[in-house]
Structure 1
Amino acid sequence: MTHQQTNYHVIGIGIGPANLGLAALLTKAEDIQSLFFDESPEFQWHPGMLIEGADLQVPFLADLVTLADPTSPFTFLNYLSSQGRLHAFFFFNRFDIPRREYNHYARWTAGQLNNCLFGRSVTNVVYKEGSYHVCVLDQETKVETTYYADHIVVGTGTKPLIPEPLQGHPPEDVLHTSQYVMQEDSIAGAEKVLIAGSGQSAAEVFLELLQKDHRPELNWYTRSAGFFQLESGKLGQEIFSPDYIDYFHALPLEKRLDELPNLTQLRNGVEESTLHKIYDVLYHRTTGGHPSGTVIQANTEVKDIKAAGDGSYEVTLHQHQQEKTFRVTADKVILGTGYKPDIPEWLETLTKDADREDDRLKINRRYHLSFPDERSGRLYTLTDIVHSHGAGATNLALAVNRNVTIINDIAGRTIYQERENTVFQQFGASQSADEKE
């Protein structure tokens, strides 16, 4: 065990887009020493879903830094200029950008930041003597080093959620959508493929397989009530704003939890363009009475998967409204069953004494936890904050706003302007002049 004597102002754990943006924005605060660690050997953003033709679901302005500082050298437009693609993007003439290009942009940014270290796994964090002691294992040398920080920012993100009855099968046969690109070759020769889920990832996989030269029989099921379009109305999108976070965070926990299902379509629907492409392919394919070669069915949940003995799988499904259980066979099963917070064991230990709302961590408006010992060192979290900060917790644009809040909080001064009144609507009751009197 070695010790890094430098006491950093802040250490970030996990380098996804949120902490990468934080690292980039901190370059403007030269007096704040920062360091970020990630166990992966290099930056990759959802590599299993970097399907050619798939686009980011937010405008390019929701890059790592622009909404905080459009003059930053790490903007997407500056990236395009550095790649000689600015004119091509001008003629591309769209606000949404390829998901592959966003990943390439983020990798370009990470490659310029000296405060981002990859191939480093955080094995433990403890708070003592007024600072956080962060134990980091170098994946290549296997040397463990302890670093010290006044504050830490946890950005460990999410991991695939696969229900227990669907686990235990070879990953090349039964896989989560997050692994699709890595297993694409093994799927290529399948005759029957079953896809579960009705979010953007499941829809993109369905569309990708639908357009293959080799056309497998496709069964697409979701336990949801339908294959619904992502809400794209401009007023509806205003919940992804600092103003809505102010409103949501101030509500009692019970009201916040009650509200989350109402916002599902703003987070988990499918892009209109993706649904249109799917329908267009199916329409063209069925011209002249040809079969579509697909089953698309809602209100139907995958309950169990069993190996059939001939290399295929027997999948048990249940149609909730009809209360009917039935079985189909498939060579490959692709699960768009979502994600869950990735909470390391050391984080559970570190936060066991933190203040709570019922059984959930209490996270204040400025994204840090509070402890009974009223410690000076703050633990900021970007992970598992939907219950405290709302449906936009994973929104890329709001991640920039969140980073501004955290940077100003650490610095104790305004480094980046925190914007107010960013939307046209009001989310709560406002007092009239008579009521204020």
Structure 2
Amino acid sequence: MTNKQYDMVGIGIGPFNLGLAALAEPLDEIDAVFFDKEEKFEWHPGMLIDGTDLQIPFLADLVTFADPTSPYSFLNYIHRQKRLYPFFFFNRFDIPRQEYNEYAKWVAEQLSSCHFSSKVVDVIPKNEEEYYEVKIETPEGIQTVNAKHVVMGTGSIPLVPPAFEEKLNEHILHSSGYLHKKEEIQKGKHVTIVGSGQSAAEIFLDLLEEQTEHHYHLTWFTRSSNFFQLDQSKLAQELFSPDYVNYFHSLSFEERTSTVEDLNPLRHGIESSTLTKIYDLLYHRSLKGKVPVTIQASTEVSDIHKKGNGYELECKQLKAERSFQYEADRLILSTGYKPKISPFIERIKDDIEWEDDKRFKVTKDYRLVFKQPRNHHFFTLTNIEHSHGSGATNLGLSVQRNQRILNVIAGRDVYPVPEETTFQTFNLF
């Protein structure tokens, strides 16, 4: 592999770059390789809670929207596992989150282009020769490959409020590590969850279901003004379409940043089925008396201090503008994620265009915009919420992203991107 020239090198092997690898595999004109520092593929292992489902239909797998005949489709996976009939009788479009993870691992194991335990430590532009020199740390030592094009698919990392960053421990943790620490969490007498999205709701429900076995008080705080339900109406879902992404990208930076906030009910709400399960369980428990549960919106948790064998939370009810202290001995921060930007972006930061001090300019086909145009492209699937809106992190649109990238690299429409996919129109002009 050392010093070999590739058409494309992918950095990171999450679902986005894994789908790119699967679609690139049958293309004779693209020689691609992908690297990830982890030992194997795992998709949010700390949140693979029993009974939780993927929030998108199984058709939004790694390849189907580009090539339904691909051997790497979910349907082929379920067929190979001899589970097609059970899945047929399951009779649902959404699938268990654990099953999606197993499907993605199955795809990764089949692709010789995917290399794990291989950390990309540097990317050096060789502009005159029109390629990138990519250095990879492997168990055998540092290796170097050359790439005509690079795709950054480094995903996201937990977003922890600054006041809590230095205080994380086995009792204070981000939701991404929930299952790894669940046993220790349930030893507490007062467990508090902070956050407003689907992950917070799933953790609350999981702990609520087992509350009577462990006898803890369970609290759920969120800064949001309510525990908002995910908007799953059909016309609203059309905003997860190639047509809407094209429209969103055509807007000014100011319009795009303000419009992202309008997309929150589509991207950060809680599924109605989860909210229903929570309420129904609370109602049934209430038949035996008061349920040891506290649920409060419009509540900011700004800091935490050690107090005795537990902790004291600094809180504020935002609407009433009243501060208060709240005791807990276990705290779960379901505070979301932020883009993981590779440090070698520093090498090219002065060569690319920026929309503000943190967000680089990205073309419709996911290329960084260089001040001096070049033919060796640097694609990004990370930190693109400001440029592609609902298409930034959605699994259902990841195939469309990969289609565009492969079409640019191949120089032709190897996977044509569909147009006029919605009944509504986003721009008549």
TM-score (norm 1): 0.95
Note the alpha carbon deviations across 1:262-306, whole angstroms, 9 max, x for none.
111100000111000000100000015x11211110000111011
Distance 2:343 2:308 in 1: 38
Matched residue type, 1:405: R
Residue equivalent to 1:33: 31
1:118 paired residue among 116, 119, 141: 116
Note the alpha carbon deviations across 1:16-65, whole angstroms, 9 max, x for none.
10000000000121221000001111000011100000100000001000
Matched residue type, 2:238: E
Residue equivalent to 2:4: 6
Residue equivalent to 2:82: 84
Distance 2:222 2:408 in 1: 43
1:182 paired residue among 176, 180, 185: 180
Matched residue type, 1:49: M
Matched residue type, 1:278: I
Alignment of 1:118-137 (within 5 A): 118-128=116-126, 129-137=129-137
Distance 1:144 1:96 in 2: 42
Shift of 1:405: 0.7
Distance 2:391 2:147 in 1: 29
Range moving further from structure 2, 17-26 or 320-329: 320-329
Alignment of 1:244-393 (within 5 A): 244-288=244-288, 290-310=289-309, 312-359=310-357, 360-393=359-392
Note the alpha carbon deviations across 1:325-377, whole angstroms, 9 max, x for none.
11111111000111111112112323332012233311011110121232210
Given that residues 122 and 137 in structure 1 are in contact (C-alpha distance below 8 angstroms), is that contact kept between their aligned partners in structure 2? yes
Shift of 1:146: 1.0
Matched residue type, 1:333: L
Distance 1:381 1:399 in 2: 12
Given that residues 351 and 372 in structure 2 are in contact (C-alpha distance below 8 angstroms), is that contact kept between their aligned partners in structure 1? no
TM-score (norm 2): 0.97
**SS of 2:166 mapped into structure 1:** coil
Q: Which stretches of structure 1, 4 residues or more, deviate above 3 A after TM superposition?
A: none
Distance 2:119 2:28 in 1: 26
**SS of 1:77 mapped into structure 2:** helix
Distance 2:347 2:291 in 1: 53
Matched, 1:172 2:170: yes
Unaligned runs of 5+ in 1: 431-437
Output the aligned Cα RMSD. Answer: 1.1
Report sequence identity in percent. 50
The alignment covers a number of residue pairs equal to: 424
Matched residue type, 1:34: A
Shift of 1:394: 0.5
Matched residue type, 2:306: A
Residue equivalent to 1:433: none
Shift of 1:170: 4.5
**SS of 2:402 mapped into structure 1:** helix
Matched residue type, 2:45: P
Matched residue type, 1:9: D
